[in-house]
A and B are shown apart, each in its own frame.
Chain A
Amino acid sequence: MNRTGGNLYHNSTAQWLAYIALFGLLAIIPVVGAEPFQLRTFAGYAVFAMLAVSVSMVWGFGGILSLGQGIPYGLAAYCMGATMQMQFQTPDEPIPSFMLTNELEELPGVWKPFWHTHIGLILALGVPTLIMTVFGILMFQARLAGAFVAIMTLAMLNAFYSMAQDLQPFTAGFNGISPPNAFKAFGVEVDPYSPMMYWLALGVLAVVTFASKYMLQSKFGTIVQASRDDAERVRFLGYSVAYYQVVVFVFGGLIASLAGIVWVMIQQYVSPTALETPFSIYMVVWAAVGGRHSLFGAIVAAIVLNYLQTELADISETWQKAWLLILGGIFVAVVLLLPRGLAGAFEYLIGWIPFGGRSAKPAARPEAG
């Protein structure tokens, strides 16, 4: 399957093995022993890693700089929040308490489908997918690219943020929705502090990563990357570039939606912070630091950066406040010194290991990883 020659980094068997090793390593964390509280934090890192994978697919491989990955994430999170809230409500008390304080006298129509857990889950994936599809078609048919896409997605994100804030009777405004009980499905309650929750989050991360990896190695992935390099040439090879862009954009959105669902299962809480601008920008920073042309790099960077943030916040409040400066510093340093991120540096270093009959000189190649 090694189609390029090149060094070990580009060997797709080695790549798959590296992913399996990474997930294997992460999977044994609950076995070697971790406090329930830590497990819950680690499960959260898996969610951040999903978001980094999502950005890596859309931006790194698709060339679409979306600052609105928070849109599918946040919408899915709200749908999941509503589903879990309705699991708590009973026919005798059908109205969530925050609605009562907002003087609603009956359950609003948009909330009714969430009575049914399975419909709630379908909506949590379906609503963001539909919105990203329509939004994607509008943008890419018009051949928007580069900074314009970034601005459009950012504006859209802020529109949804305002809606979450302002539609208080439906969203509980800035307080957010906090379902009292853990998520239950198929008779199983998923305790956020349990190894089950952690493995579930990690499992979803593994599935989205392998699905993405597979797509990148298919002809679809090559065409998407070709569109990133030269959209016009791809068009003149008879492909509808807009169609491909919409598909990769929606696929990235789907990953972010799954992240939103898992996040609410872990936190039992959703608020407009999910739709805040800085959060969507952090996702891009994680992917950039890890190397946006590498899913592996994006995952590792998302986990390591968030781990660092948590650890520093534990030291003192000063460190917690300093985190944004540190993150900014790391970002600037990576952009200046390692434009291909940590994965790019790794690719360079591993190039010195002789492989496949030739001691490959480090040939920079963005695909793979």
Chain B
Amino acid sequence: MGIILELKDLTKAYDTYAVVDHLNLQVNEGELRCLIGPNGAGKTTTMDLITGRQKTTGGQVIFDGRNITGLKEHMIVRRGIGRKFQVPAVFKDLTVRENLEVAFNRNPDPFANMLMMFRRTDKARFDEIVDLIGLGERLGERAGYLSHGETQWLEIGMVLTQNPRLLLMDEPTAGMTEQETHKTSQIFNRLRGSHTLVVVEHDMTFVREIADVISVLHMGKLLAQGTMAEVENDPKVREVYLGAEGISDAT
């Protein structure tokens, strides 16, 4: 299992203030990594830098051995990095099925797609994803009518449809009920091994259920890294998370 993603001295600075400050991070293929840290630690910004949504001010993003720093978003996606946003982003005016069909990006060329009257491009894969996210009954529904949890699952399904090698998930359980969170962790555990996942999360119960390795960010730097137990007992981590009370009580 080689390194699939490597951040080298990654930096994003506004004026003199660095939101992400010479961050070095490595993610192995097939691993489920959780990225945690207090508000403003630079977690979402890091995801933005990896996916090209924001321009870096220094450092490099190496994906699968190649430097992808500064590429346009859609080019990075085509290299195999999928992203789920913090605020669920689906196409509200399209049906669930159409959302997934748009996500099925076999050929991104507009003229080629004019000739495609689609319907099932890859039925097996389509059914597998619909089954995974559990929206089989809702395929004809407009995405705008889905519940919050269903919207999150739909977006996860859309990203999965692309079969990315690396999946970045920004707070996938935000706003979910306990049952929904549990179902999401089941989805993630099914993805484990076949996909590499980097998950930004605040919900520690959820992190405990899914994480292999946890990276703790603070002030744009890597503060600590290790298993749940290692991170929990790290004095530096305890300090940034609500004084000495520790990470377990933080939400």
Contact = CB atoms under 8 A, between A and B. Distances in A.
A229 B91 contact: yes
Q: What band does the interface of chain B fall in when counting residues whose beta carbon is under 8 Å from A?
A: 35 or more
Contact of A235 (B73, B119, B155): B73
B98 A5 contact: no
B116 A225 contact: no
Given A222-B98, A230-B91, A365-B142, A236 B113 contact: no
Interface in A203-242: 215, 217-220, 222-223, 225-226, 228-230, 232-241
A5 B89 contact: no
A220 B114 contact: yes
B236 interface: no
B140 A5 contact: yes
A241 B110 CA distance: 10
A162 B77 CA distance: 44
Contacts of A218: 113-118
A89 B82 CA distance: 62
B110 A223 contact: yes
Contact of A219 (B53, B73, B77, B117): B117
Contact of A230 (B73, B77, B90, B140): B90
Given A3-B119, A223-B110, A363-B142, A237 B91 contact: no
**Highest count of chain B CB atoms <10 Å: which of A218, A219, A244, A365:** A219
Contacts of A241: 74
A215 B117 CA distance: 9
Contact of A367 (B51, B93, B115): B93
Given A6-B140, A237-B102, A223 B113 contact: yes
B162 A238 contact: yes
A200 B113 CA distance: 30
B213 to A, nearest CB: 25
Given A229-B94, A239-B74, A239-B108, A220 B113 contact: yes
Interface string B68-100: 000011100110001101000111111101110
Nearest to A228: B93
Nearest to B103: A237
A86 to B, nearest CB: 34
Interface string B217-251: 00000000000000000000000000000000000
A367 B94 contact: yes
Given A218-B116, A223-B113, A363-B142, A238 B95 contact: no
Contacts of A233: 85, 89-91, 155, 158
B93 A237 contact: no
Contacts of A237: 74, 77, 102-103, 105, 158, 162
Nearest to B158: A237
A307 interface: no
B101 interface: yes
Nearest to A211: B114
A222 B92 CA distance: 12
A352 interface: no
A339 interface: no
Given A229-B92, A238-B162, A4 B140 contact: yes
A6 B77 CA distance: 33
Contacts of B72: 240
**Highest count of chain A CB atoms <10 Å: which of B72, B73, B110:** B110
B74 A222 contact: no
Given A3-B119, A4-B95, A218-B114, A232 B108 contact: no
Given A238-B74, A238-B77, 8 more contacts: A3-B119, A218-B117, A222-B98, A235-B77, A236-B51, A237-B102, A237-B103, A247-B111
25 contacts: A3-B98, A4-B140, A215-B114, A218-B114, A219-B114, A220-B111, A220-B114, A220-B116, A225-B93, A226-B91, A226-B99, A228-B93, A229-B94, A230-B92, A232-B89, A233-B89, A233-B158, A235-B77, A236-B77, A237-B74, A237-B102, A238-B77, A244-B110, A365-B93, A367-B94
